[in-house]
Chain A
Amino acid sequence: MYGYHGKLLFINLSTGNIEIRPLKEEDARNFIGGPALGAKILYEEMPANADVFGEDSMVGFVTGPLNNNRALFGGRYTVVSKSPVTGGWNDANAGGYFGPMLKAAGFDAVFVNGISEKPVYVFVDEGRAEILDASDLWGLTVSETEAKIRAKHGEKINAALIGPGGENLSYFAAVINDGHRAAGRGGTGAVIGSKNLKAVVVRGNLSTEVADRKKLVAANKSISDNMKGAAAELATAFGRFGTGIFYIPSTLSSDASIKNWGGAAGIDYTEEEAYLVSSANLEQFVLKKYNCSNCPLACGAIMDVPSERWELANIDRPEYETMGAFGSQILNSDYESVLRCNLLCNEYGLDTISAGATVSWIVECYENGLFTKEELDGIEATWGNGDSIVALTELICKNEGIGQVLIKGTRYAADHLGKGHEYLVVASGIEEPQHDGRLAYGVTRTYQYDPTPGRHVKGGLGLAPSGPDFDYSDTGEADLQGVVGTEVLNSSGLCMFGNMVSPPDALLNLIEAVTGFQYSPEEFRKLGTRMFNIRHAFNIREGMTRKDFTLSKRFYESNPPYEGPIAGVKVDHERLADNFFETIGWDKETLIPSLSSLEELGGMEAVIADFYG
């Protein structure tokens, strides 16, 4: 098999058993890698309705074929597991160098189940693996952990690890590699923490053979040419400002959350306030740029920021999502506090999207008299109060005071404390990323019904703003096409931003060049649809039906007193969903895919057996 080692590593932390199994060629062809291959394996290996923190619960670290195969932008890998938030499927990806290094260590994926009696880490070293003691790593922050691992195994390793957030079973615990690259969403870090697993450390120099080297070189060249041609402006802007390039326009258009999704863009949070948090203002502090494996764009930046309040030397520039989550969402223009929260989340291993949303939720609750200052450990949790935002984030990170409840996210906190449900803005319990469904209507379908709800990096109608003359009549086909492209992208190992500056055929050309698999347009459509269905099937097997995929009203309806660009917008999100279900072939109530649609896709035998006998 080209592009793959054909090897999957399975580790049981309860028994200490380590097993290498072959990756079947048909699975590679049908599911490629990343979230889809992870879903295929977990669907078959993990029993239905397993306790998310129990021994049967599995977590996977899955590469894509573009990892470590010289494909430009081919640095993304995916963590997969059940989600402690939704009780269903979870996948989240990260860039950096871990995915390519896992591949160089000789495996296409590592899957872990069981629970270790004491803290451990897995060391995968050139085709072998061992389980090592991590007692001295438990409790350490991300940078402390990585430093200790490097001191022991040398600089040539890479590690995907959890911080105290994962150890404390935060429902938004991230998996971090390279110090700052986060597979953040959905709480897989907590699943890892529940296994007493601190890290997966990888090292190696093994390579895989590429099917068509000439075609790979040509595909890479087409990307470089596009970055100098049609996509030159976007590539330059991403390289210079990172994903935060659109922060100001996004806060003014109502793409980003304003005041916990209840405020008016440009009024409650002005252009001048947005500027302070934006990449344009932060550019003055940039020390150097950094990139992921084989990335010519380098959207990351290290900054040195003078501050009398916090140590902000040598820190990462926040991503757009983080700017929105800790900025406009809480009416916060105190950029130092945004940077501090970003740093805290990276160090404690927490997802900044959910962390910011959780702070935003408690601020709105406090402003509306649901909590007293005493109940919030003396913190004056008011809108735009940078010091309070940092203080609350610190409590969450350290699992102290009110942070012990907030660490499990907004829905858990509202249920546990018995208040604040009216201020939740979640999709199946997951806090929303910084793209408003009332501006881009299709986002409501994606956030509500993607197998991983509440994700801006999943497919559908996209983020292009909808106009007043939006036509609901025939959205299913475009929605499915968006899903297909994004599923294949995410499973390949290619970075989404890289894909945005690449010509449209680059993704398929890279996959075909590396793997040798060929996909006709019809097969490509089946490929992406199959990927989506296998992730979805995991949820359906857990017993989820349409009523379990929920979306907070504030995300699709903005009646008075809302003002600004989305005033009066009411998105018929269930109609968008109906259109989509008809096109993909799902029953509209049970969401079970029809037998004929599954048979037509192929490769779904296990799903067919479960639902149709």
Chain B
Amino acid sequence: MKVTVRLMGLDMSPDASSITLELSDGATVEHALKKLVSVAEMPWTVDDLMMHVMLVQNRRANKKDVLEDNDTLIVLKTLEGG
């Protein structure tokens, strides 16, 4: 299945970066983030990313949430988030 991951504000920039990942059925938020850090160059670990607000579409997500095809996982930084 395809899941899009968007990172927003983590590097203090107003621009979001976006990457689409191919994941196996039943993959969780944590699986998606592990795949993300393995395929994309970034200064953050999976634990770093999970300290921020994570949304699947518009709902709050945590690492064990199972993703579905065409989901968008957003990791975003608020003022003191993470």
A-side residues, CB < 8 A to B, are 233-234, 236-237, 241, 245-246, 248-250, 252-253, 255, 264-267, 278-280, 320, 435, 439-440, 462-465, 467-469, 563-567
Whole-angstrom distance between the Cβ of A560 and the nearest chain B Cβ: 13
Contacts of B60 in A (CB 8 A): 468, 565-567
Closest Cβ of chain A to B56, distance in Å, is: 10
Given the complex, which residues of B lie within 8 Å of A280, measured CB to CB?
A: 14-15
Please tell me if B31 contacts chain A, counting CB pairs below 8 Å. Answer: no
Number of contact residues on B: which range applies? 20 to 34
Q: Is A278 a contact partner of B53 (Cβ separation < 8 A)?
A: no
What separation, in Å, do the CA atoms of A467 and B61 have in the docked complex? 9
Chain B residues with Cβ below 8 Å from A237 are 12-13
Instruction: A252 to B82: give the CA distance in the assembly, Å.
Output: 16
- The distance in angstroms between the C-alpha atoms of A102 and B81, with both chains bound, is 36
- Flag B45-66 by CB within 8 Å of A: 1 or 0 each: 0000000110101111010000
Asked whether, in the complex, the Cβ of B55 is within 8 Å of the Cβ of A245, the reply is: no
Is A245 within 8 A of B53, CB to CB?
no
Contact A465 B78, CB 8 Å, known A246-B9, A565-B53, A565-B60: yes
Q: Which residue of B lies closest to A231 (CB)?
A: B12
Closest-CB distance, A236 to chain B (whole angstroms): 7
Is A278 in contact with B14, judged by CB distance below 8 angstroms?
yes
B55 touching A266, Cβ below 8 Å: yes
Closest B residue to A436 by CB, please name it.
Answer: B78
Q: What 0/1 readout, one digit per residue, does chain B (18-38) give for beta carbons within 8 Å of chain A? A: 000000000000000000000
In Å, the complex CA distance between A234 and B60 comes to 25
Knowing A249-B8, A249-B78 touch, does A565 contact B58 (C-beta < 8 A)? yes
- Nearest CB in chain A: distance from B16 CB, A: 8
For this complex, 5 residue pairs linking A to B, each with C-beta atoms less than 8 Å apart, are A250-B78, A252-B76, A253-B81, A439-B78, A463-B78
Contacts of B14 in A (CB 8 A): 241, 245, 248, 278-280
Say whether B11 faces chain A, with CB atoms less than 8 Å apart.
Answer: yes
Q: Give me the interface of B with A, judged by CB distance under 8 Å.
A: 8-9, 11-15, 52-53, 55, 57-60, 62, 74, 76-82
Selected contact of B53 from candidates A253, A267, A320, CB within 8 Å: A253
* Residue of chain B at shortest CB distance from A564: B58
Q: How far is the CB of B63 from chain A (nearest CB, A)?
A: 10
B74 — which chain A residues lie within 8 A by C-beta?
252
Are B81 and A245 neighbours in the complex by a CB distance under 8 Å?
no
Task: Name A266's closest neighbour in chain B (CB-CB).
Answer: B58
| A463 near B79: Cβ-Cβ < 8 Å | yes
Q: Which of A249, A265, A440 meets B9, CB within 8 Å?
A: A249
- Contact indicator B15/A246 (Cβ below 8 Å): no
A469 vs B57: C-alpha distance in the bound complex, in angstroms? 21
Quote the shortest CB–CB distance from B10 to chain A (angstroms): 9
With CB as the reference atom, state the residue of chain A lying closest to B52. Answer: A465
The smallest C-beta distance from A256 to any residue of chain B, in angstroms, reads 9
CA–CA, A564 to B55, complex, Å?
A: 9
Among residues of B, the one whose C-beta sits closest to the C-beta of A256 is B78
Supposing A468-B62, A565-B60 touch, asked if A462 and B80 sit within 8 A by C-beta, the answer is yes
Docked pose: A27 CA to B15 CA in angstroms: 48
Query: Contact between A252 and B62 (Cβ–Cβ < 8 Å)?
Result: no
